[in-house]
Amino acid sequence: MKIFSILFVCHGNICRSPTAEGVMRARLAQAGLLSRVVVDSAGTHGYHVGEAPDARSVKAAASRGYDLASQRARQVADEDFAAFDLILAADSRNLADLRRRCPAHLQDRLHLMLEPLGEGREVPDPYYGGCRGFEEVLDLLEAACEGWLEQLRSRHDWMAS
């Protein structure tokens, strides 16, 4: 069975990317695809390696039924560029960091998380704001994950069955 892999990336891997991982994991489970798609998250920087997601992310996600509790922050590794079929950055700054590190022949795997919602759209960083920012991030990521899932189904026959 073909396994597809997705890596969500933000700056520190404690807000946006773990939330995206949790949302996509839930969407894949609902679609019966969790055994066919591997989902992970990482940060372009290692400030929070080993830490749990931000408590505000965990709380906001839990209020919508997403469980982030077992996740731990990690930094993007060079091996990730070959290991993941799709690498989704939260914003253009993180995408630029990834592009600098990614081998030329794997650059087509790099995209913005919100690409299904429109070219150039970015997930705002809620870290320094209030709780409403974490809800906004969830709104955006729920819509984007649905968009990515539809794109993947249309491109990969084995996901549609």
∠ CA 122-127-132 to the nearest 5 degrees? 80
Task: Catalytic residue, from 40, 80, 97, 125: name it.
Answer: 125
Say which of 15, 16, 54, 91 is annotated catalytic: 16
Whether 102 sits among the annotated catalytic residues: the reply is no
Q: Both tokens of residue 15?
A: 């807000």
Strands 4-10 and 86-89, how do they pair? parallel
- Cα 26 from Cα 24, distance rounded (Å): 5
Q: What's the rounded Cα separation, in Å, for the pair 32 and 37?
A: 10
Contact between residue 35 and residue 144 where contact means Cβ atoms under 8 Å apart:
no
Q: Are 107 and 27 in contact (CB under 8 A)?
A: no
Q: Is 10 a catalytic residue?
A: yes
Q: Give CA–CA dist 1/139, Å, rounded.
A: 32
CA pair distance 66, 59, nearest whole angstrom: 9
Report, as residue numbers or ranges, the catalytic residues.
Answer: 10, 16, 125
